[in-house]
Amino acid sequence: MKVYDELVARGLIAQVTNEEEIREMVDNGKATFYIGFDPTADSLHVGHFMALCLMKRLQMAGNKPIALIGGGTAMIGDPSGRTDMRSMMTKETIDHNCACFKKQMERFIEFGEGKAQMVNNADWLLNLNYIDFIRDIGACFSVNNMLRAECFKQRMEKGLSFLEFNYMPMQSYDFYYLFQHYGCNMQFGGNDQWSNMLGGTELIRRKLGKDAHAMTITLLLNSEGKKMGKTAKGAVWLDPNKTTPYEFYQYWRNVDDADVMKCIRMLTFLPLEQIDEMGTWKDAKINEAKEILAFELTKLVHGEEEAQKAQAAAKALFMGGAGDEEHMPTTEITADQLTDGQIGILNLMVACKLASSNKEARTLVTQGGVLVNDEKVPAPTFMVTEAMLKEGVKIRKGKKVFHKAVLV
């Protein structure tokens, strides 16, 4: 099976501008393509990882990837998929995030001469003259067509700033610039980027009289219909300091039954034949599929050793609770967090990020869903002593979330 057919079989392709030509290009290593990454945080997340895996698949087939860091467009903010305006970031924050992205990307993509390239659109966007830009580029865009784009329609009710309205011409200019200076003939992106991507292919056609292509990747959506790893709540980061390998493993181990095969097909590098066989599994075998998903993705992101540690810890904790505490997520508590040699269970849960507030922690305790050292916490007023913390306190929230707190 050639690479394009595999992308289709894995359910990764949403829309294409010209399937026949794109198939010919990617199957024969003729595509020089780019995917954009706006540095809106200091770590890549699951949504980025899916794009990185696609770049890896295509690079293995002889195509040349360009990872475009949006240091320039991030100063505007992409309105796609948003119901509110993105918070403004300073240039210093953007530069810091770009540096973090580069370091993380180098773990997944092979860069070098004739291999993948990394570029930052700040290098050309920040030097543009506004009058020249709107005369030369702005004249190629129809406001009527732009307002019909889904990314703008979603925002019109609450208000769309002129700043954000410039995002589509800016992203289109990226493609136009890369086409001219890097021989880039194709753009890949999330399905919510379709309008922006078509803006780029049309700009190239109008300005240069040449064809360029676009293909969108199916979005990986959670049960709420929002992009996994894209929201502030429950983001699954690739940086182990933001989402530990154990937490990363547990996230995938606990996906809904209905989502597990979709995730395995779209995100792992397991052979399709094996995945098709797993698709027939039912009942208890679904849990085995979840373990395979969690292990494979943790191995891809953090390496096989960390994946094995996370799997061992998860199994040990699930079997008995005490289990393999060595790899249990741990929070260090300092003496200045104690009052008279103790700390309330509510404050401790917040410190361990097991609850976002004392109110949430109180509800969990009241409902009987919190255990300390395998004993149910009797009341929200329960205190954890300094002596207990020195030994290490094991907290269990619900049936599956385990955490350890230790005094340092």
Do residues 354 and 403 touch, judged by C-beta distance below 8 A? yes
Q: For residue 230, what pLDDT is reported? A: 43
Q: Which residue has the higher pLDDT, 222 or 36?
A: 36
What CATH number did the domain enclosing 46 receive?
3.40.50.620
Q: Is the domain of 302 the same as that of 399? A: no
Q: Give 81's pLDDT tier (boundaries 50, 70, 90).
A: very low
- Is the residue at 370 inside a domain? yes
The residue from 326, 348, 378 where one domain ends is 326
Q: What is the identity of the amino acid at 255?
A: V
**In a shared domain, residues 338 and 303:** no
* 350 and 321 in a common domain: no
Order of strands across the sheet that contains 186-190: 13-16, 213-217, 186-190, 32-37, 64-69, 117-120
CATH at residue 376? 3.10.290.10
Same domain, 284 and 303: yes
Give all strands of the β-sheet with 370-372 in edge-to-edge order. Answer: 330-333, 401-407, 393-397, 370-372, 375-376
The span from the CA of 190 to the CA of 210, in Å, is 24
Residue 403: predicted pLDDT: 87
Same domain (yes/no): 312, 385: no
> Span 307-336, mean pLDDT?
78
64 and 34 Cβ atoms separated by less than 8 Å: no
What angle, rounded to 10 degrees, do the helices at 284-302 and 304-320 form?
A: 140
Does residue 236 lie in a domain region? no
Residues 87 and 181 in one domain: yes
Q: CA 1 to CA 14: how far, in whole Å? A: 19
The pLDDT of residue 167 is: 79
- The confidence score (pLDDT) of residue 224 equals 62
Residues 174 and 73: beta-carbon distance below 8 Å: yes
Question: Are 269 and 402 within one domain?
Answer: no
Question: Are 169 and 213 within one domain?
Answer: yes
Q: What is the tens place of the pLDDT at every residue in 158-196?
A: 777 777 777 788 889 999 999 999 999 999 998 878 888
Residue at 270 is within a domain: yes
Query: In this structure, is residue 224 part of a structural domain?
Result: no
Window from 79-88, 117-126, 275-284 with minimum mean pLDDT: 79-88
Last residue of a domain, one of 311, 326, 341: 326
Confidence at residue 191, expressed as pLDDT on a 0 to 100 scale = 81
Q: pLDDT per residue over 60-71, tens digit each?
A: 899 999 999 888
Segment 31-54, tens digit of pLDDT: 999 999 888 889 998 878 788 889
In a domain, 234, yes or no: no
Evaluate whether residue 229 is within a structural domain: no
Side chain identity, residue 29: G
Contacting residues for 194 by C-beta, under 8 A, at least 6 apart: 14, 15, 150, 214, 216
**Percentage of the residues of the chain whose pLDDT score is greater than 70:** 89
Q: Domain boundary residue among 326, 344, 362?
A: 326
Task: Return the closest-CA partner of residue 71 out of 117, 122, 34, 36.
Answer: 122
**Are 362 and 405 spatial neighbours (Cβ–Cβ below 8 Å)?**
no
Claim to verify: residue 167 and residue 291 sit in the same structural domain: no
Residue 320 sits in a domain whose CATH number is: 1.10.240.10
User: Does residue 298 share a domain with residue 188?
Assistant: no
- How many folded domains does the chain comprise? 3
In a domain, 226, yes or no: no
Q: Does 237 reside within a domain?
A: no
Same domain, 67 and 168: yes
- DSSP-derived 3-state class of residue 259: helix
Show the domain range for 291.
Answer: 245-326
297 and 313 in a single domain? The answer is: yes
Instruction: Answer whether residue 232 shows pLDDT above 60.
Output: no
Q: 405 with 395: CB under 8 angstroms?
A: yes
Rounded to an integer, what distance in angstroms lies between the CA atom of residue 114 and that of residue 376? Answer: 60
pLDDT surpasses 70 at 154: no
